[in-house]
Amino acid sequence: MKNTRRDFIRSTAIKTAGLGLLASGIPMDGVSKSIVAKSEKSKLWTAPRIKFAVIGMNHGHIYGMTEAIKRGGGELKSYFAKEAELNAEFGKRYSSAKQARSEEEILNDPEIKLVLSAGIPVDRAPLGIRVMKAGKDYMVDKPGITSLKQLASVKKAQKETNQIFAIVYSERFENRATVKASELVAAGAIGKVVQTIGLGPHRMRPESRPEWFFDKKYFGGIITDIASHQFDQFLHFTGSTSAEILASQVGNINNKQHPNFEDFGDAMVRGNGGSGYVRVDWFNPDGLDSWGDGRLTILGTEGFIEIRKNIDIASGHKGGNHLYMVDGKETIHMDCNQVELPFGPQMVDDVVNRTRTAMTQEHCFLTMELALIAQKNAIKI
């Protein structure tokens, strides 16, 4: 069994890269190997598979979301935001798309099959309900849902319409090292997963933030907002289909001038497939060459994986998307910057085929439920 796993690791991580590509110059029979992880190229679509639209661009994630659907063969037809400056900025980048006169113009357009949004978080779930009731699928930036009441309403509308309500947990879907970790864990490279530890530090830069950013009634609180990423990864890597929050806490430690803000939160969670710990904060220092030193550790019975998502301050390796794996025989570093991102094509497949290959609806909702419960029950520090 160990040989099978090792063969898989080598065939997927070194695919087309060659055994001689050693970033550190360490020989292949050494303790630590540094290799480039690649994957098959995505299919290039010669004609649009679906037409989609964007409503709400209050977070820059909307650009990555738009590119993901374009990679899957989607054609951006139209866009709309309440804010003139957001329309202008978005239109400058996507000049071939039409600026709609209203949200209703998009919802009433029968050609549009999918609507994307990164509006103000509290507005995202109500918009999703309107989108689904208009007979369209919906793909929204996290958190997507900011209260348990909203969650109940979204679940009801989704069940009634049978449309897709997808939340983009981009720390997994749009991080190449995390995509590679999914392949390795699925192949049993570190045995059965026991626990995940997800760390999500963020840089504040308050001068660049809108007023609503500092009031949690608009974003749901720090665990609801940021930690939905970490709960998604916990469920995914442990294979848990049910889970409970064991403990959680939140606090506003260093931003007292914004009394309705939270800058720290953490939680412990236990599922039917493993355990997890989550920590998120707004303390990423300006001296770091990244907006956040995001990390994920996946502990298995026969090894562990650590991912440095955005930056690797300890090794000297440049940029992000670095994966380290340790098993019973060796330590491997994988530069995953050439790994393909499957989420966009999978999402378009789901719209076209009425499937759930990108993410099941149950997983999407359970991730937010855990974040919302952890937020609601958090001890204030």
| pLDDT one-digit tens code per residue, 314-324 | 888 889 999 99
Is the model's pLDDT at 35 over the cut of 70? yes
| pTM, 2 dp | 0.91
The pLDDT-based confidence of 43 (bands split at 50, 70, 90) is confident
* Average confidence (pLDDT) over 25-37: 58
The pLDDT-based confidence of 34 (bands split at 50, 70, 90) is confident
Cα gap 255→249, rounded to integer Å: 17
What is the DSSP annotation of 173-217? HT-HHHHHHHHHHHTTTT-SEEEEEEEEE----GGGS-GGGG-HH
The pLDDT-based confidence of 57 (bands split at 50, 70, 90) is very high
The percent of residues in the chain predicted with pLDDT above 70, rounded, is 91
Q: Are 92 and 205 within one domain?
A: no
Q: Are 85 and 176 within one domain?
A: no
The alpha-helical segments, DSSP class H, found in the chain are 2-13, 61-71, 84-93, 103-107, 121-133, 148-161, 170-173, 176-186, 216-219, 222-225, 228-238, 343-353, 361-376
What pLDDT, on a 0 to 100 scale, did the predictor assign at position 24?
A: 37
What pLDDT, on a 0 to 100 scale, did the predictor assign at position 30?
A: 38
Task: Name the nearest CA neighbour of 174 among 365, 339, 366, 356.
Answer: 339
What pLDDT, on a 0 to 100 scale, did the predictor assign at position 316?
A: 82
**8-state DSSP, 48:** -
- Asked if residue 361 is part of any domain, the answer here is no
Q: Are 203 and 324 within one domain?
A: yes
Domain that holds residue 251: 2-40+172-342+375-380
Structural domains in the chain (count): 2
Check the CA dihedral 347-164-108-121 and report its sign. negative
Q: Are 109 and 163 within one domain?
A: yes
Task: Name the nearest CA neighbour of 301 among 180, 181, 185, 179.
Answer: 185
Q: Are 23 and 105 within one domain?
A: no
| pLDDT one-digit tens code per residue, 251-309 | 999 999 999 999 999 999 999 999 999 999 999 999 999 999 999 999 999 999 999 99
Q: Are 239 and 164 within one domain?
A: no
Is the model's pLDDT at 375 over the cut of 80? yes
Distances in Å between the alpha carbon of 333 and those of 41, 66, 67, 282? 22, 31, 28, 29
| Whether the Cβ atoms of residue 97 and residue 79 lie closer than 8 Å to each other | yes
Cα gap 221→95, rounded to integer Å: 35
- Asked if residue 147 is part of any domain, the answer here is yes
Is the model's pLDDT at 166 over the cut of 70? yes
* Average confidence (pLDDT) over 115-127: 98
Q: Are 61 and 14 within one domain?
A: no
* Average confidence (pLDDT) over 10-23: 40
What pLDDT, on a 0 to 100 scale, did the predictor assign at position 7?
A: 55
Q: Write the CATH number for 213.
A: 3.30.360.10
Q: Write the CATH number for 138.
A: 3.40.50.720
Is the model's pLDDT at 242 over the cut of 80? yes
The pLDDT-based confidence of 18 (bands split at 50, 70, 90) is very low
What pLDDT, on a 0 to 100 scale, did the predictor assign at position 5?
A: 53
276 vs 208, higher pLDDT:
276
Is the model's pLDDT at 123 over the cut of 50? yes
Q: Are 234 and 333 within one domain?
A: yes
